[in-house]
Chains A and B, each alone.
Chain A
Amino acid sequence: MNRTLLLQQVLNGLAIGSVYAIFALGYTLIFSVLRIINFTHGAIFTLGAYATYALTGSQFGINGLLAGATLPFRLPFVLALLGGSVVAAICGVIVERLAFRPLRARGADPLLTLVSSLGVAVALVNVTQYLFGAEPYSYPDPLEALPAAVNFGTASAPVLVRTVQVVIFGVSMVVLVLLTYLMNATRTGKALRAVAEDTTTSSLLGIDTDRLVLLTFVISGFLGGVTGTLIGLSVGIAGPYFGIAFGLKGLAVIVLGGLGDIPGAVVGGLLIGLAEAFVPAQYIAYREAVPFALLFIVLLVRPQGLLGRAQVQKV
């Protein structure tokens, strides 16, 4: 395999992988603190993308309840991104209060929470469709002035990566650094890890577990909104279901990296991206199976994932 092609495939893998990684970060954060898989992450991510779209002053199509609606103001893209992510965070909190808190209060099985989150995700996605219709939307492009792709090779042997994907990679690295710093170097992070270890003991020790759970959902929702908007920037908002496809692959990513492990989410995402990029051209039809085959194998061989600690069964 020649060097240019190799470099191209590596960069492709990192590009796709960083999209998975940034999605998985919000996913795994909730697991790390609450030990639950939150399927609504995909729906919140979608809502965030739509909220950003509204905040850029753009108009919604004719289908759906809010036909032709526009906000009376328009924000520049970055502000709209932040605003949309705040909306996503708020939605995340509402979901937590209404659907997960009652389950947590009575110590329900995490599998029950998983099912509940599925139900909520289905409802949210369909509410989105009901309000905004099923057609695709595109943001007014803030990166228009920049060239469409960045060349990591030479002029004669170009190795191109789309500019927006370079941006996404950059953002995912920044988020990784921020989250790791939060979890390991701040008091809040320590408190979060205490809650993850044992909720009852933490609250007995005076930690306000409720507030911390709230904070977790705020951060996760905000991240979801950022992810949704950035992906929407890269490929347009494909419709209310565009977050759901990430939900399943996201599972493979977080398990591979280690459930609840934050750097693990990024490692898992990049590895799966690379695995997908290196599927030989004639087998591309089976590419979809790659993340799940990896998931299956990892579960059989090393269920704690690459960076997770082995689970010790306490008696």
Chain B
Amino acid sequence: MATFFATYDFLLVSMVLAAVLALTLYLPLMAGQLSVASPGFYALGGYIAAILSTKVFHPGPGLYPVSLVVLEMAVAAVVSGLLGLVVGVPALRLRGIFLALATIAFVQILGVVALNLEVTGGAIGIFGIPQPFSSQLQYMWLAIPLLLLSMLFVARLERTRTGRALIALREDELAAAAMGVNPTYHKVLAFTTSAVLAGAVGAVSAHFINTWNSRQGTFDTSVNLMAFVLVGGSRTFVGPVVGGLVLTALPEALRGVADVGGLPPWLAQFLRDGRLIIFGVLIAIGTVFFPHGLITPGLLRRLGGRRRAPTA
């Protein structure tokens, strides 16, 4: 048991953080907007934490105070939120594929900027980021509350007027606008909330992986997030969470399967090196056989009974 946690502590926390990031994609999606801008805010949050902890709050020896990490998360959240507003207001007039492309462009531009600034360390990035915990598993003290709070927030949101407005926008934006729902206000709200959350996750992640550079929070991350939501379930907030947890674990589970003795060597070799092939194929199959993702409101209704699902 101890070996299990020693081996998989990093993976378990990564799964939880990925689930939170998946929610950052879900939030704009509730309003029918596919925005893959969250990796950009994630990167920004990470840099803020990295720069603050290594250059501003000069850490002494020993563990870095958790309160400072929380402070960094707050700063990252606020800055990301502000940037989200600045970018969101003009960008959210776009619809569908155009918005998706604009957010892709946004992430790429941030990446180039990060690569070129002195303060971000260029290609090498920032390293030696201090640790607030003595073991990786203790990051759960930050990750799990973050996940639970965001899940709670989204669950609540779905029941308020704002949440219903977002869903109305998703179903038919023109009709909703005609009924008095202000589309821009609600879309920007969803986008900015998503940015705030992504920034906070970034701040934790910088400490979590000891280093931060321009390779964190890129288009590849967007691809992963899209997979989490579209395979996990795009119609209920449980979907992205499950998608994030499962799909983050999947490549490593395949690594573990490859190690199981008794497999013919070519198969073990394939499972080891072909993890990305299997991952890609699973995404493709998932979109065909589970177009609304694995977790649908219908499924939840069947399982939960009592839970009133939002519009189907």
Contact = CB atoms under 8 A, between A and B. Distances in A.
Determine direct contact between A and B, CB below 8 Å: yes
Contacts of A113: 287
Interface residues of B, number: 42
Contacts of B157: none
B90 A111 contact: no
B287 A286 contact: no
B112 A286 contact: yes
A150 interface: no
Interface stretch (B72-80, B126-134, B186-194, B276-284): B276-284
B144 interface: no
Interface in B59-109: 90-91, 93-94, 96-98, 100-102, 104-106, 108-109
B109 A118 contact: no
B245 to A, nearest CB: 18
Given A37-B97, A286-B112, A286-B116, A99 B284 contact: yes
B230 A112 contact: yes
Contacts of B283: 115-116, 118-119, 122
A79 interface: no
Interface stretch (B49-57, B195-203, B219-227, B253-261): B219-227
Contacts of A99: 284, 288
Given A106-B291, A123-B277, A299 B94 contact: yes
Nearest to B230: A115
Contacts of B108: 248, 288-289, 292
A315 B291 contact: no
Interface string B244-277: 0000000000000000000000000010011011
Nearest to B122: A285
Interface in A276-313: 285-286, 288-289, 292-293, 295-296, 299-300, 303, 313
B272 to A, nearest CB: 11
Contact of B97 (A111, A124, A248, A315): A111
B45 to A, nearest CB: 21
A11 interface: no
Contact of A296 (B102, B227, B230, B273): B102
B148 interface: no
A110 interface: yes
B13 interface: no
Interface of B: 34, 90-91, 93-94, 96-98, 100-102, 104-106, 108-109, 112-113, 115-116, 174, 219, 223, 226-227, 230, 270, 273-274, 276-284, 286-288, 291
Given A123-B284, A126-B280, 8 more contacts: A103-B288, A120-B281, A121-B280, A126-B277, A127-B277, A130-B274, A259-B97, A293-B105
Interface of A: 37, 98-99, 102-103, 106, 108-116, 118-124, 126-127, 130, 248, 251-252, 255, 259, 285-286, 288-289, 292-293, 295-296, 299-300, 303, 313, 315
